């Protein structure tokens, strides 16, 4: 029998962040632990047997760790699919490290300085090999880290196992339900010593939303959060506009070395990987409809065209529509495109893009894919409610049979196809994104109080440093400004080389 120790949160004990006074009290006050002995009838049990049994129970209690309860939630050391996958995961992490020069360079530069010592970082982002390299870099830089996934289908179970084996609390497994996903996020709010998080790394505003809805009292000890995605920034801007945002945010998604690389080149490659693994379909010759011609849409269109697809773009933005037309793509409305497309890719981070009226007009066995954040771009709710039969083909691939006699193929239940049906963006391009995430967390922690509540971007000079960190790996060499050139264009020889408003 394991004895549980209960804790109650005492908000009056929350101290100012940055205090290293060992006398600072914990915000958790243990209540008295009581040990109980069973009552046995003397008629049925010998006294010596009773005493030995009680002694054995108490010895067993000493061997097992006491459980932690916070806000009625049992805090587990970790929860993953299978710890026995750790060796396989470690090999995958080693391969990813070799392809992530920017992140590994930051680890080498900052590991001895420990700029994140004192950070209790809770992350909510896909648990992949690339994320694992970033997580271990945060720990090398001095941070305590624990993690959940922003997507129930994207976790790579062998990576989760390797990280747990290395002593990092991970709460994620492939195939979580929505309820389990929220439970996993709750597990990352408090650390094993009972102290709460003081920093957040988020994808899709998942963790920040939970903090603002359930743990608002903790915002006073959180020095900031960094956000990875377009959809997440959209939600955060709405929160800020409503005067409900309580912490500073660094918008990593708008870093040039994120949006122009991860979103564009990364999604372009991983989309094809996801579609192929899910459906084995031939891309060449197919009519592919891409919803949205932002950074992700541009990368996907280029990649699909390279595979021989005939690409159609749908847009609401006249500038993006003009770009698509100038790039040689046909641009039309979804009402027109739904009748001729064979593969559909939503790529906006918005909602209600492919609706019931479009689905009913589609060709038989059309493939509906989403590579935007979340599950709302394709109306999956309508599809489930109106299908006369749902046929599971294999994990993360279903065929929905409709009343008109046609069928629709839906990979990943309408979630991001590249991470749910494949392994997400390649390590090299994620090194760009995650280098920005590391720099963002260093900025927020080392400059506490300097970032006001709101949404900020990293300085341009840091963006250029991230790009520079990846050039040697590709064998790229740069020219340098001469003194005459530097004076002529009014730029420092070491940069930044473009103004903040430059769009690349």
Please give the Cα distance from 393 to 401 (Å, whole number).
13
- DSSP letters, 49-73, are HHHHHHHHHHHHHHHSPPEEEETTE
* 258 labeled binding residue: yes
228 labelled ligand-binding:
yes
- 164 labeled part of a ligand binding site: no
**Residue 389, marked binder:** no
The whole-angstrom separation of Cα 158 and Cα 153 is 14
> Residue 297: CB partners within 8 Å, gap ≥ 6?
290, 291, 313, 320, 347, 348
299 is in an annotated binding site: yes
Which is it for the CA torsion 193, 195, 199, 204, positive or negative? Answer: positive
- The Cβ of residue 241 has, within 10 Å, a number of other Cβ atoms equal to 9
Bridging pattern class, strands 67-70 and 310-314: unpaired
Alpha carbon distances (Å) from 208 to 73, 130, 174, 253, 298: 19, 22, 22, 16, 29
Q: Is 298 annotated as a binding residue?
A: yes
Kindly provide the residue ranges of all beta strands, DSSP E only, lying in 207-317, ordered along the sequence.
225-227, 248-251, 287-291, 310-314
Q: Is 469 exposed, middle or buried (0-12, 13-18, 19+ CB in 10 A)?
A: buried
CA neighbor of 254 nearest in space, from 437, 117, 6: 437
3-state secondary structure of 156: coil
Asked if 79 and 173 touch (Cβ cutoff 8 Å), the reply is: yes
Q: Is 376 annotated as a binding residue?
A: no
> Is 500 annotated as ligand-binding?
no
The answer to whether the beta carbons of residues 460 and 157 sit under 8 Å apart is no
Q: How far apart are CA 398 and CA 18, in angstroms?
A: 51
- Residues 283, 309: Cα–Cα separation, whole Å: 6
Count CB-CB contacts under 10 A for residue 318. Answer: 8
Residue 128 assigned as binding residue: yes
Q: Which residues contact 448 (CB under 8 A, 6 or more apart)?
A: 17, 18, 223, 224
The reply, when asked if residue 72 is annotated as ligand binding, is: no
10 belongs to an annotated ligand binding site: no
296 is in an annotated binding site: yes
User: Strand 73-75 to strand 67-70: parallel, antiparallel, or no bridges (unpaired)?
Assistant: antiparallel
Question: Is 203 marked as binding a ligand?
Answer: yes
Annotated binding site for NAD(+): 294-299, 315, 418
Annotated binding site for substrate: 128, 203, 228, 258, 262
Annotated binding site: 128, 203, 228, 258, 262, 294-299, 315, 418
């Amino acid at each position: 029998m394991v004895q549980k120790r209960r804790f109650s949160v005492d908000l009056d004990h929350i101290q100012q962040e940055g205090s290293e006074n060992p006398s600072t009290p914990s915000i958790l006050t243990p209540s008295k632990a009581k040990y109980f002995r069973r009552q046995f009838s003397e008629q049925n049990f010998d006294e010596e047997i009773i005493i030995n049994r009680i002694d054995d129970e108490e010895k067993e209690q000493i061997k097992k760790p006491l459980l932690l309860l916070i806000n009625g939630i049992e805090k587990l050391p970790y929860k993953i699919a299978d710890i026995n996958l750790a060796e396989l995961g470690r090999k995958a992490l080693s391969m990813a490290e070799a392809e992530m020069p920017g992140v590994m360079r930051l680890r080498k530069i900052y590991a001895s300085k420990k700029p994140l010592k004192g950070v209790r970082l809770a992350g909510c982002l896909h648990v992949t090999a690339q994320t694992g390299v970033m997580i271990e870099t945060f720990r090398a830089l001095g941070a305590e880290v624990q993690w959940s996934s922003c997507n129930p289908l994207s976790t790579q179970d062998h990576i989760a196992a390797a990280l747990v084996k290395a002593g990092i609390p991970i709460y994620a497994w492939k195939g979580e339900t929505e309820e389990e996903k929220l439970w996993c996020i709750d597990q990352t709010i408090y650390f094993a010593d009972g102290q709460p998080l003081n920093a957040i790394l988020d994808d899709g505003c998942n963790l920040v939303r939970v903090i603002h809805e359930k743990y608002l009292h903790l915002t006073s000890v959180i020095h900031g959060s960094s956000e990875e995605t377009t959809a997440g920034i959209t939600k955060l801007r709405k929160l800020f506009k409503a005067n409900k945002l309580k912490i500073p945010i660094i918008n990593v998604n708008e870093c040039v070395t994120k949006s122009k690389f991860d979103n564009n080149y990364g999604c372009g490659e991983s989309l094809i990987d996801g579609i192929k693994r899910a459906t084995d379909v031939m891309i060449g010759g197919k009519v592919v409809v891409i919803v949205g011609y932002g950074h992700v849409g541009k990368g996907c269109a280029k990649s699909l065209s390279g595979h021989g697809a005939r690409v159609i773009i749908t847009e609401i933005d006249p500038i993006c529509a003009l770009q698509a037309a100038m790039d040689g793509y046909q641009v039309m409305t979804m009402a027109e495109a739904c009748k001729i497309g064979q593969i559909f890719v939503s790529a906006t981070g918005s909602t209600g893009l492919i609706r019931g009226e479009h689905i009913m007009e589609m060709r038989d066995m059309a493939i509906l894919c989403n590579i935007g954040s979340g599950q709302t771009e394709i109306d999956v709710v309508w599809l489930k409610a109106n299908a006369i039969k749902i046929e599971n083909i294999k994990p993360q691939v279903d065929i929905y049979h409709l009343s008109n006699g046609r069928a629709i193929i839906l990979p990943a239940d309408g979630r991001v196809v590249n991470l749910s049906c494949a392994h997400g963006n390649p390590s090299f391009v994620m090194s760009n994104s995650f280098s920005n995430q590391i720099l963002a967390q260093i900025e927020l922690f080392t400059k506490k109080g300097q970032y006001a509540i709101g949404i900020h971007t990293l300085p341009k000079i840091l963006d250029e440093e991230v790009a520079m960190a990846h050039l040697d790996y590709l064998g790229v060499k740069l020219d340098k400004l001469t003194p005459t050139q530097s004076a002529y264009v009014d730029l420092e020889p070491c940069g930044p080389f473009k103004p903040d408003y430059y769009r690349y």
